[in-house]
Amino acid sequence: MLNTLDYTVLGIYVVALFLIAQLVSREKDQHKKTGTDYFLAGKALPWWAVGASLIAANISAEQIIGMSGSGYAIGLAIASYEWMAALTLIIVGKFILPVFLARGINTMPEYLAQRFSPAVKNTMAVFWLGVYVFVNLTSILWLGSLAISTVTGLGTVHGMLFLGTFALAYSLYGGLRAVAMTDIIQVVLLVGGGLMIAYVLLNELSGQQGVLAGFRELTARAPEKFDMILSPDNPHYISLPGLSVLLGGMWIMNLSYWGFNQYIVQRALGAKDLREAQKGIVFAAFLKVLMPIIVVLPGIAIYALNHDLASPDQAYPTALTLLPAGLKGLVFAALIAAIVSSLASMVNSISTIFILDIVPLFRRGEPAVHMVGWGRVVSCTAMLLALLVAKPLLGNFDQAFQYIQEFTGFFTPGICAIFLLGIFWQRTTSAGAFAAAILSGALSLLLKLAWPELPFIDRVGFVFVLCVVAAVLLSIMGAQRSAQREPAVTSSQAVSFQTTTSYNVAAIAVIVVLSALYL
């Protein structure tokens, strides 16, 4: 699809990002990077870097290609993933982030050690490392390479090698600071490129009469694609089961992802302070409200222009063909930006958990400089492992995104139950936390086998409720026995959940906008 001009634009982007990343990663006055510098950007990130990095880490090939494909097949209803995430971010910024920052934690496992016990921490740290390397990192590489292959014809293996090498090249030296400080470039490119492709498609629909006329034409040609709440007779109801999307399991998925996921929360933990982190959260929430225009609308527009795609996931690549030379290269660079930013963020989080949570089990008192060096080694090792196993793991799946959702969804209810109970119910014990973690996978598998027609989102909700009930009962029954050997619990009541007027106004604005969109 690309010509010389497009490849020139892409080359300029690759070189510029690498040079800027090295520039922002330099230390002043011969200062040597410490673990805090490398893994948490010295806890000095400004709000715009926090917000941009949250979105850049979140949006990757599976969102752009996959959600455009879902827009083509299902319609705007798939935007609930984005719009509910905006509201979830507001909740996380007000009620969850203050607890983490007040405790001064660096990783999610570290919170579990403070709140429950080292055994809970170690178990979940190993679990997260496995999921991040063999599910998340592999899926980003594989789906990203498929996107590159579709657009350029490059083989999937070569595409993965390009993505993995590029992500490491620009982020390995500077760590989280290199990733977060360049993510503002990635987000500008992502949003700008997405708005350009939306403009071109709507203008095409209107016969070059403008985007407003194009949007009116789009709603006239495909009115069924603008139903936000699917009815039970809709063929896609099992993917988005009506009101359950707004009132059920999607809340669990969103809270787990945006509130208790090292890959995401690490950006907020690296902020200058709580207020700066909360401003970044609000910035990300507003970007989330905008995101369906970029990742869903192109799919709906391609449906209105062409009903005959062999696969819904061809919608976004097909949209690229409508762009002029140069602009096509810029939008493709935006796609690459989304992929490599997610890769860089993921390997940084993997090295953070490994160095800060796993290494101390074997080597205490490791010098700070050595921590940084070993962090780079872990990043390279994780990327190499993912490159080796990505095709064997995902190459036989028709929809790799479903593999991600199904696997992580088995454990999301338990993770969410552990953290929510740990933060808001002081009597939760380690035994209760372990029960939630174990039952989450077991009950999810049991329900999937016994009740296959149950929508995935509903299953997540049911399992979450059962995990909470089991954790509460076990905590009550074993409270006296475990009190002798568990560390004292610091109540979240000591943490202030008060937010600034500007944060409250922004939260209300997000709620009003979302309410208007659904109504």
pLDDT in tens, 147-201: 888 888 899 899 999 999 999 999 998 899 999 999 998 899 889 888 999 999 9
pLDDT of residue 468: 97
The whole-number pLDDT of residue 369 equals 55
Q: Answer for the pair 343, 169: CB distance below 8 angstroms, yes or no.
A: no
pLDDT in tens, 432-487: 999 999 999 999 999 999 999 999 899 999 999 999 999 999 999 876 555 444 44
Long-range contacts for 437-442 (Cβ within 8 Å, ≥24 apart)?
A: 437/120, 437/123, 437/124, 437/127, 437/411, 438/414, 439/414, 439/463, 439/466, 439/467, 439/470, 440/410, 440/411, 440/412, 440/413, 440/414, 440/415, 440/467, 441/410, 441/411, 441/414
Amino acid at 70: S
Whether pLDDT at 264 is above 90: yes
Position 484 scores a pLDDT of 45
Banded model confidence at residue 36, pLDDT cuts 50, 70, 90: confident
Structure confidence at residue 488 (pLDDT): 46
For the chain, give the mean pLDDT.
Answer: 89
* Other CB atoms within 10 A of residue 244 CB: 18
Mean per-residue pLDDT for 308-330? 86
pLDDT of residue 402: 57
- Rounded average pLDDT over 408-423: 93
> Which is higher by pLDDT, 343 or 150?
343
Q: What is the pLDDT of residues 281-310, one digit of tens each?
A: 999 999 999 999 999 999 999 999 987 888
The neighbouring-strand residues paired with 45 are 271
What's 92's DSSP letter? I
Measured at the CA of 516, the angle between CA 515 and CA 519, to 5 degrees, comes to 85
What's the mean pLDDT in 240-254? 91
Tokens at 181, concatenated: 């400080």
Could you give the 3-state DSSP secondary structure of residue 234? coil
Q: What angle do CA 26, 32, 33 make, to 5 degrees?
A: 75
pLDDT tens-digit map of 78-110: 999 999 999 999 999 999 999 999 999 999 999
